[in-house]
Structure 1
Amino acid sequence: MDFAEQRQAMVAHLRERQDISDSVAAALLAVPRHLFLPGVDPEDAYRDEPIVTKRDDAGRPISSSSQPAIMATMLDQLGVEPGHRVLEIGAGTGYNAALLAHLAGPAGHVVSMDIDEDVVAGAGRHLAAAGATRVEAVCADGAQGYAERAPYDRVIATVGVWDLAPAWLEQLGAGGRLVAPLDLRGVQVSVALERAGDHWAARSVVPCGFMRMRGAFAGPEAVVVLRRDPELMLGLPEWRELGDVLGALDTEPAEVPVGGGEAPYGPGVTMWLALHDTRCCLLTGRLGQGFGMSAGLVDGDAIALLAGEGAHVARGRAPTGPGLAAQGHGPGGAALAADLAGHVRAWAAAGHPEAGDLRIRAYPGSAPGDGRGTVVPKRHTTLVVDFG
C-alpha cells in the first residue's frame, strides 16, 4: 500500500493550521513518509508528530523524523526551485532529503550529511525504497559542509545549531540561502538567512525545536533527561548544576497571576525570556494530557512555568484565577514565579512581540557596536538580535 489517502489527510490537516506553498504540499503528497519509518505503524507515520529513531546511552534523542508541520515551514523558508543544488546537514531518516529532491526536480541534486554511519546507511536504504535517486547520502561531520558538490543554491540544517559554520556560508553560491534551527541562548528559531553586505540577515524567523548538533561543532547547550517514561526533558542554554527539579514538579505550586483574563501567550515569551534571563529553560515532553513544551525559569531545586491558555505545565494544572499565571515549584519557587511573571508583563508591555518579529543579523567575527539589539557572541559569528 502507498497510503496516498493518509498523505492527503496529513496535508489537509497541515493546511488547515498553516500556510503551505503548493510546491511543498505536492512534495508531501508525493513522498511516502512511512517508507522512511519502517519500524513504525504506517498510520502513525502520517500523524503530525516527531518520531524519535535513535537515542544515546543516557536516553537523549539524537536522531528523528521531524514533525511534518515544521518540516513544511522550513521547506517554504528555504524556497528550493527546480534545478537547485541543495546541501542538507542532518540526514535523519532521509525523508526530508526526499522532499528536497522532489522540489529540486530532475535537474537538481541533494547532498544529505550525517555524522553517524548507521543513520546514513538507514537513510540510504529508505531513499532507495522510495525511489529517491537524486540524493547523495554522505557520512561526515556536517560542520565542514561538502565542498565536492559546492557551490549550493540552498543549505538547510535539520539539526539544532549553536553557531553558523563558516563552511556553509562559504559553500553557498551567489544569491544563496541558508535555513537553520539557530540557538538563541537555549531557545531555537528556524532562521532563513541571506547575504546583506558584510553580514547575513534573516528574511524570516519561526519558532522550532530540534535535536542539537553533535561533533566538533556542538555548542554548550544542555539537555537534561528528567524522566524517561513518560518522557520529560529540560533544555538549558549551557550546562549548570541543578537540584531535584523532577521532585519539585511534584509539589503544589505557588502561583503568581500575570495579568487579566485575556492575557495572551505565545512563543514570543520564550524568545523574550531567552534574551533577558540566563535562568531560562525549556521543558519538553509529556506535559499534562499530551506532548508539549513550556518556557520558564529554573534555579537549583526550583522551577517556574506558565499556566493558562496556550501554556503547558508538567502536571496540567490550570491556574486558580483568570488569565495567565506563573507557577513556581519547589523551594524558592514563589520568588522564581514572581520573576517569571515580571518578564511576561514586560513582554506584554512591549506589544506581545513574537518570534516572527525578531530581527537577526549574523556577522563573521565581531559585530559593529551600534548599540542596537542584544549581542549574542558565538564561536565564529556574532548575532545581533532585537524585536523589530
Structure 2
Amino acid sequence: MDLTDLRESMVTRLTERQEVGERVAAAMRAVPRHLFLPHIPPEDAYRDEPIVTRRDADGRPTSSSSQPAIMAAMLDQLAVRPGDRVLEVGAGTGYNAALLGALAGPEGRVVCIDIDADVAAEARAHLDAAGLPWVEVLCGDGAEGHAEPAPYDRLIATVGVWDLAPAWTAQLAPGGRLVVPLDLNGMQVSVAMERDGDHWTSLSVVPCGFMRMRGPSAGPEVLAVLHQNPDLLLTLPAPRELGDVSAALATEPTELLLTAVLDEPARPPQDPAREGRAEAPAREGPVWEAAVAFRTGVPMWLALHEPRWCTLMGGGHGFCAGLVEPGGIALLPLDGDPVVRGHGRDGDRLAEELAAHVHAWTAAGRPRPTDLRIDAHPAGAAVSGPLILRKRHTTLALSY
C-alpha cells in the first residue's frame, strides 16, 4: 500500500466512525501526516492514535501529534473558510497547522504559536517539507495571542487550556469563532464558542484530551507519572495529598459489577486499528449510544460533582475514571466492562461511593458532554445556575 492509500484508508476509517465534513476530509487526504512524524514508520503515522513526540525530565508528555479523530472533530467545529485569518495556539508537529493551511488556502493567513522554541522550529521544518510556506510559526506564549495580523476570523488551541485568555477574545473579529480544549475541573471538552452579547456561548461541545498549557497561564491540573515502561499516569483537577497510590494499586481489589445500572451493554467500541481488524464498528444503535454515553458521561459527572475524582491511564489498567484518597483508590474502566475496583485500605468504601455516582448519573438521564451548554462570562459577573466554575478571567455557567 502506498502513502496515498494510507491517507485514504485513515480518512475512510474516520468517516465510518464519526461525522467528518467534506472539506476537512479533503484536507486530511491532501496533507501527508508522515512528513510531520519523520521518526516513526509511515504506516504508524496513519493510525487513528495520538503520538507523543516530547517528554520532560520526569517522563511527562509535553508535545504530541493529536489523534486524527479529535483533530477532524475540532476542525469541523472551527469551520475555517477559504481566505480566513486563523490563529493556532500550540504547534505540536505542525500537522494541524498544515490542515488549517489547506482549509484557509494561500489567500488566507494561518499563524501558529508555541511556547517551546524547539517545537516551533520542528513544526516550521515539517511545514516546509510538506510545501506549506504560507503557514507562519512563531515562538511565544500562546496565551498572549499574536496581535499583528489580528483580527482573526478563527482561533483554535491544540493544547489544553484552563481559562479563556483575554487576548484571544480581543483578537477575534466580530462574528469570529474560537475552539479550545477547555478544562472543567480536570475534564476537557473541545468547545466551539461565539460572542453572544456581553459573553461567549457554546455552539458545540466534544469530549477530548490534550496536554496542558504551560507557562503563566497554566491551570492547577496535576499529571503524575506513577511509573514508566509501561507508563502509568494519574491526573487530578488540582494538587492534593494522595499517599502512596502505587502501593494501593498493588493490593487485591474489591470488585462491584455495575451491569444492572445500565440498560445497555457499556463496553465501548474499540478502535479497529488497535485490535488488528479491517472492519470498523457500526456507530449507530442503542449499544453504541449507551457505550459512548458511559465512556464520556461518567467522567464529566465526576468532574462536576466530585472533588476527589481522578483519571488513571496505562500500566495494564486501560483508561479509568475514579476516586482517590490517601487511604486508597477506586477505578471504573471506561474502555471495558462496567466494574468498579477498589484498592487499598479504604478501597471498599471508595468503590461503593464511585458506584453511587454512576447510579446518580444514570438517574439523571445519563447526560454526556455533548449535552452541555457553556456560557463564559467576565470574571466576577453575577451569574447563577446549577453549575458555576470561577476562573481567572471568566466565570463559566454550565447546564445540560
- Give the alignment's TM-score, normalised by structure 1: 0.93
TM superposition shift of 1:287: 3.9
**Matches of 2:167 and 2:315, distance apart in 1:** 37
Query: What's the offset of the Cα at 1:106?
Result: 2.1
TM value normalised by structure 2: 0.90
| 1:306 and 2:335 aligned | no
Give the direction of change, closer, same or farther, for the CA distance of 1:306–1:178 in structure 2 (3 Å limit): same
Query: For the aligned residues, what is the CA RMSD?
Result: 1.5
Tell me whether 1:382 sits opposite 2:395 in the alignment.
yes
Partner of 2:378: 364
Q: Are residues 1:123 and 2:149 paired?
A: no
The percentage of counterpart residues that share the same residue type is: 61
Distance 1:358 1:115 in 2: 31
Mapped partners of 1:77, 1:334: distance in 2 = 42
Q: Which residue of 2 aligns with 1:274?
A: 303
1:2-17 matched pairs, under 5 angstroms: 3-17=3-17
Secondary structure of the 2:148 match is helix
Deviation at 1:250, TM superposition (A): 2.5
Give the Cα separation in 2 of the matches to 1:200 and 1:251: 47
Give the Å deviation of 1:259: 4.9
Aligned twin of 2:70: 70
SS in 2 for 1:340: helix
Q: Confirm or deny: 8 A CA contact 1:187 1:282 kept in the other structure.
A: no
CA contact (8 A) 2:327 2:345 kept: yes
Q: Deviations over 1:61-90 (max 9, x none)?
A: 010000101000000011101010000000
Query: By how many angstroms is 1:115 displaced?
Result: 0.5
**1:198 offset after TM fit, Å?**
1.3
Q: For 1:95-106, what aligned pairs fall within 5 Å after superposition?
A: 95-106=95-106
Instruction: Give distance in 1, aligned partners of 2:386 and 2:30.
Output: 43
Q: CA deviation at 1:330?
A: 1.1
Residues 4 and 301 of structure 1, relative CA distance in 2, 3 Å threshold: farther
Unaligned runs of 5+ in 2: 267-293
What is the Cα deviation at residue 252 of structure 1?
Answer: 1.9
1:79 and 2:105 are equivalent in the alignment = no
Preserved contact between residue 162 and residue 218 of structure 2 (Cα < 8 Å):
yes
1:373 maps onto 2:374 in alignment: no
Deviations 1:303-349 (A, max 9, x none): 11114xx545xxxxx6xxxxx33211111011111111111111000
The amino acid that maps onto 1:262 is D
Superposed CA deviations along residues 339-372 of structure 1, whole A, max 9, x for unmatched, are 11111111000111111011111111123333x2
Cα 1:366/1:223, change in 2 over 3 Å: same
User: Counterpart of 1:349?
Assistant: 363
In 1, Cα distance between the equivalents of 2:242 and 2:388?
27
Q: How does 1:168-183 map to 2 (within 5 A)?
A: 168-183=168-183
Q: Give 1:251 shift.
A: 2.1
Count of residues paired in the alignment:
371
Correspondence for 1:156:
156
The residue type equivalent to 1:268 in the other structure is G
Q: Structure 2: how far apart are the matches of 1:102 and 1:248?
A: 49
1:133 deviates by 1.7
Where structure 1 has 5 or more consecutive residues not aligned to the other structure, the ranges are: 313-317, 319-323
Gap change, CA 1:124 and 1:282, over 3 Å in 2: same
Could you tell me which amino acid in structure 2 is paired with residue 281 of structure 1? C
Instruction: Identify the residue that residue 231 of structure 1 maps to in structure 2.
Output: 231
Aligned partner letter, 1:96: N
